[in-house]
Structure 1
Amino acid sequence: MIFTLAFLVAILAVAGWWLLRHGIAAKPWLETVPAAGVPDTPVAPAVMGLRVFIAVAASLLVLLVSAYAMRMEMADWQPPPQPRLLWANTGVLLLSSAALHYARSAVRRGNIGGVRDGLVVGSAAAVIFLAGQVLAWRELAAAGYTPTSNPADAFFYLITAAHGLHVLGGLVALARTGTRLWRGDEMERLRLSVELCTTYWHFLLIAWIALFSMLAFSPSFTWLYAICAAPFR
């Protein structure tokens, strides 16, 4: 248990550092140099809302990971084979995150064409990722690995479904951002929307890499987990 908690804390620390370094605490819609004697403008409600949502989503995923780590110690735990398609899906999600990062850089330069390209590629890649996850489910189900066949199988479907729902929610936000772009909203409002979507997409990528690593490689660490947990039992 100690090893699992240390592993989770390390993942959260790296994720938090990465998000802070890449703009989750940035306020691009504000003046870069505030006027003398004028107090700082408070954080925009949209930014605060995103921070709260990411904290809640991360907490949910941590709870799922903790339950997974504890349940895998049971004798009936038989993890399903990981479809190779999940590796391709990871690459697609990486492409989606990179496209959103490009869109954020483009909106900062005032390059509307670049923003459009980034949003289109990022959205299309996200849809492909979700379709790939469904195909991976069908592949496992066809091989006899269903949510009711084994607790490990149930956790696989639960964890991937939880992450997929977060991606689906991100697609809704991307659709709203695209609507603002086509509608010709003012640049500052569009910039904030792209910034928030990009930050959230980077969070989704980090979360998926952590979850996929756990699903794909956790059986290999059983011996290390046992060594680290033995003194505390």
Structure 2
Amino acid sequence: MALDIKIVEEAQKPLGMNPKKFGLWLFMGSVIMVFAAWTSAYLVRRADGNWRVFELPSLFWITSAIILVSSGTMHWAYLSAKKDNLEQTKLAISITSLLGVAFLIGQFLAWGEMVQHNVHFVGNPSGSFVYVISWMHGLHIVSGVVFLLIVLVATFQYKVHSKRISQMEMCTTYWHFLDALWLYLFVFLLLNR
């Protein structure tokens, strides 16, 4: 009697990702490509000549510090949510939101500082690039603050906790991304005036 041996492979669990997280990563990838295109265009246009060199607004240093601190408070919110400490989560998200708004106000005031130094949106392309790059990043910060407020409301409704952390993870990822993006842009502008 011959033995028939059948080899049966167990079904493997497909590699997958939460569709919302995947969408966030796609969105962040597209944002990277847009800002890469603008910084590349900046370098190409600067090489053409007729480029006015000017000092970046001193407020960019302050807004950079604000965004760094906000990254710390966002991480605090995430760790607090993982530990089910919702009161600290609410406080940390609120502080991060306020720091995001402070960043936006600082950027707006920095544009005013540029105007005082005769650097306008229309005119020399060097100023135009700084306005467009910082304005577009500011627009993404607005979306980040909205996301923070959505997560804050969800926290008040007890929808964010250690067993339901996905929304908080996405918000944290996006906020850290925006922080890193600004630091890249600021250093880029400092080195390529």
Deviation string 1:103-126 (CA, Å, 9 cap, x unpaired) is 111111111122112101111100
What does residue 7 of structure 2 align with?
A: none
Q: Distance in 2 between matches of 1:205 and 1:63?
A: 19
Partner AA of 1:96 in structure 2: S
CA RMSD of aligned residues (A): 1.8
> Gaps (5+ residues) in structure 1?
1-35, 220-233
Distance 1:41 1:113, change over 3 A: farther
What does residue 153 of structure 2 align with?
A: 179
Q: Distance in 1 between matches of 2:127 and 2:108?
A: 15
Number of residue-to-residue matches in the alignment: 184
Q: Distance in 2 between matches of 1:161 and 1:189?
A: 37
The answer to whether residue 185 in structure 2 is matched with residue 214 in structure 1 is no
What does residue 52 of structure 1 align with?
A: 26
Alignment of 1:18-167 (within 5 A): 39=13, 42-167=16-141
Worse overlay, 40-49 or 139-148: 40-49
TM-score under structure 2 length normalisation: 0.89
Larger radius of gyration: 2
Partner AA of 1:58 in structure 2: I
Percent of aligned pairs sharing the same letter: 29
Which SS does the other structure have where 2:80 is aligned?
Answer: helix
| 1:90, distance to aligned residue in structure 2 (A) | 0.2
Partner AA of 1:128 in structure 2: A
Point out 4+ residue stretches in structure 1 off by more than 4 angstroms.
Answer: none
Q: Distance in 2 between matches of 1:144 and 1:189?
A: 54
| 1:143, distance to aligned residue in structure 2 (A) | 2.2
TM-score under structure 1 length normalisation: 0.74
Partner AA of 2:59 in structure 1: L
Structure with greater helix share of residues: 1
